[in-house]
């Protein structure tokens, strides 16, 4: 299974959302938004799919959140990462995704290598319409394990991603490899 680098965004597509002037969106608000967007057949069909790498378009999320429609070619994945101080949600719109996650709160800073306890691994298979919300510092990887079919999903984060920490994993050892900031994604 290869972890492919993301491609440039295809376009910015607005999706009806609550104005940014109200309270910050909750994890439940983000999950409701991604569920609603994942049922928009025209939106899902508008995403250009690339057989070689992930594609995405930025969406207008609720309450100033950051939202994305993401296409996953067969065999692609994110690698282990977290979304730092953002809460988030994602739902599969088509195809099937697998999420591997850690059911443990990791220290946020000051470490490079951790040995994980037994029993912290969680795996979810997410068919169309299935997804989940998650809290701050949620460590996971998302994979399209299909050998032949693209998957498409909708994601939202609040506050907009301040950074992403990327990890490598060998057995029970998790190693911090890189910290990315929004300016790194331009």
Please give the model's pTM, rounded to 2 decimal places: 0.86
Question: What pLDDT, on a 0 to 100 scale, did the predictor assign at position 104?
Answer: 87
Which residues have a Cβ under 8 Å from the Cβ of 70 and sit 6 or more positions away?
47, 54, 55, 56, 152, 153, 154, 155
CB-based contact 100:122 (threshold 8 Å) = yes
**DSSP states of 68-106 as a string?**
EEEEE-TT-B--EEE-TT-EEEEEEEES-EEEEEE-SPP
CA distance 186 to 96: 29
Average pLDDT along the chain: 88
CA distance 56 to 182: 16
Question: What pLDDT, on a 0 to 100 scale, did the predictor assign at position 2?
Answer: 32
User: pLDDT: is 89 or 184 the higher one?
Assistant: 89
Question: What pLDDT, on a 0 to 100 scale, did the predictor assign at position 137?
Answer: 87
Backbone angles phi, psi at 31, to 5 degrees: -65, -40
Largest CA distance in the chain: 45
- Tell me what percent of the residues of the chain surpass a pLDDT of 70: 88
Question: What pLDDT, on a 0 to 100 scale, did the predictor assign at position 41?
Answer: 97
Does the structure show a pLDDT above 90 at 155? yes
Question: What pLDDT, on a 0 to 100 scale, did the predictor assign at position 21?
Answer: 59
Tell me: the pLDDT tens digits for 9-48?
443 444 444 445 578 999 999 999 999 999 999 999 999 9
Q: pLDDT-based confidence at 183, cuts 50/70/90?
A: confident
- Mean pLDDT for 159-182 is 94
Element spanning 44, H or E: helix 41-45
Task: Classify domain 12-180 by CATH number.
Answer: 2.60.120.10
Which of 154, 148, 128, 165 minimizes the C-alpha distance to 37?
154
Tell me: the pLDDT tens digits for 66-111?
999 999 999 999 999 999 899 999 999 999 999 999 998 888 778 8
CA distance 119 to 92: 26
Reported in sequence order, the residue ranges of 103-159 that DSSP labels E, i.e. its strands, are: 113-115, 121-126, 131-134, 140-143, 151-158
Q: pLDDT-based confidence at 186, cuts 50/70/90?
A: low
Look at strands 87-94 and 131-134 and give their pairing: antiparallel
CB-based contact 14:37 (threshold 8 Å) = no
């Amino acid at each position: 299974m290869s972890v492919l680098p993301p491609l440039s965004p295809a376009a910015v597509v607005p999706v009806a959302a609550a104005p940014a002037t109200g309270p910050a969106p909750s994890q439940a608000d983000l999950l409701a938004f991604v569920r609603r967007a994942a049922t928009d057949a025209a939106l899902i069909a508008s995403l250009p799919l690339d057989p070689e790498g992930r594609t995405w378009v930025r969406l207008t999320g609720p309450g100033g959140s950051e939202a994305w429609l993401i296409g996953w070619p067969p065999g692609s994945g994110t690698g282990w990462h977290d979304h730092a101080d953002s809460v988030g949600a994602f739902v599969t719109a088509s195809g099937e995704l697998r999420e591997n996650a850690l059911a443990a709160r990791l220290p946020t800073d000051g470490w490079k290598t951790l040995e994980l306890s037994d029993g912290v691994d969680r795996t979810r298979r997410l068919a169309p319409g299935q997804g989940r919300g998650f809290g701050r510092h949620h460590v996971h990887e998302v994979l399209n394990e299909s050998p032949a079919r693209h998957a498409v999903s909708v994601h939202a984060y609040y506050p907009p991603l301040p950074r992403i920490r990327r990890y490598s994993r060998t057995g029970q050892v998790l190693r911090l490899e890189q910290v990315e900031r929004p300016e790194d994604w331009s």
